[in-house]
């Protein structure tokens, strides 16, 4: 009988120990907050969360001035060149060694890159800017980035673009940077466009 009482007390103490342990464990758990209902607006429909980062679709991708200039470039350049707008540096360069300098410019975007179609090597980088104010301002590239591009022997031409820019002067500037003939001849693309 004494043995039964000792075993019974031991089981009660063991049960109490596990109950206290379970209660302490539950106290340490963070409480889940109640989910709030979010009103779906136009922004919320185009937004998503990836690893605690809110992503929203950028709209517009390019300003109207940038689109018009891109179309103009496609008209004036010979067929051996391809113009790509908004090129990220991480798509063009591979850092080797200490990446701290590359991180300073990795998030930069080049306005337009003209590639040789045959081998997709960079022929020219175009940096367009205007002198407007507000949301539609086109800034010049960072001087530090321009210095790095120069060290890599990548030609950069800065072009002032306003609502009504001098198309002939712009064409001469680009052709000169590419080492092309800039006489009074027009290419086939321009002639076809004028006919339409």
128-149 pLDDT, tens digit each? 887 655 444 566 667 888 888 8
The count of domains in the chain is: 1
pLDDT of residue 195: 37
pLDDT tens figures, 57-80: 777 778 788 888 899 999 999 999
Q: Answer whether residue 3 is part of any domain.
A: no
Q: How confident is the model at residue 44 (pLDDT cuts 50, 70, 90)?
A: low
Give the CATH number of the domain where residue 112 resides: 3.40.1350
Distances (CA, A) of 70 to 1, 35, 85, 112, 174: 97, 46, 7, 8, 13
Is there a domain that residue 57 lies in?
no
Which pLDDT belongs to residue 135?
Answer: 47
* pLDDT recorded at residue 124: 95
Is 43 a member of any domain?
no
On average, the pLDDT of the chain sits at 77
pLDDT tier, 184 (very low <50, low <70, confident <90, very high otherwise): very low
Domain that holds residue 164: 64-195
Residue 41 lies in a domain: no
Q: Is residue 25 part of a domain?
A: no
Task: Please give the helix or strand (H or E) that residue 98 lies within, else none.
Answer: none
Please report whether residue 4 resides in a domain: no
Cβ–Cβ < 8 Å for 116, 80? yes
The answer to whether residue 49 sits within a structural domain is no
Greater model confidence, 138 or 14: 14
- The predicted pLDDT at position 93 comes to 87
pLDDT of 185 strictly over 80? no
């Amino acid at each position: 009988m004494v043995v039964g009482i000792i075993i019974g007390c031991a089981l009660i103490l063991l049960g109490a120990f596990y109950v206290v342990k379970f209660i302490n464990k539950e106290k340490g758990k963070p409480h889940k907050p109640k989910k709030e209902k979010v009103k779906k607006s136009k922004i919320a429909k185009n937004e998503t969360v990836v690893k605690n980062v809110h992503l929203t679709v950028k709209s517009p991708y390019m300003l109207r001035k940038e689109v018009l200039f891109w179309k103009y470039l496609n008209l004036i350049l010979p067929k051996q060149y391809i113009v790509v707008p908004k090129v990220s540096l991480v798509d063009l360069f591979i850092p080797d060694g200490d990446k701290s300098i590359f991180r300073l410019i990795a998030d930069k975007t080049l306005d337009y890159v003209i590639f040789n179609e045959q081998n997709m090597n960079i022929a020219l980088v175009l940096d367009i800017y205007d002198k407007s104010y507000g949301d539609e301002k086109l800034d010049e590239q960072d001087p530090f980035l321009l210095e790095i591009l120069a060290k890599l022997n990548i030609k950069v031409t800065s072009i002032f673009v306003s609502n009504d820019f001098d198309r002939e002067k712009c064409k001469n500037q680009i052709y000169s940077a590419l080492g092309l003939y800039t006489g009074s001849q027009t290419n086939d693309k321009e002639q076809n466009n004028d006919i339409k």
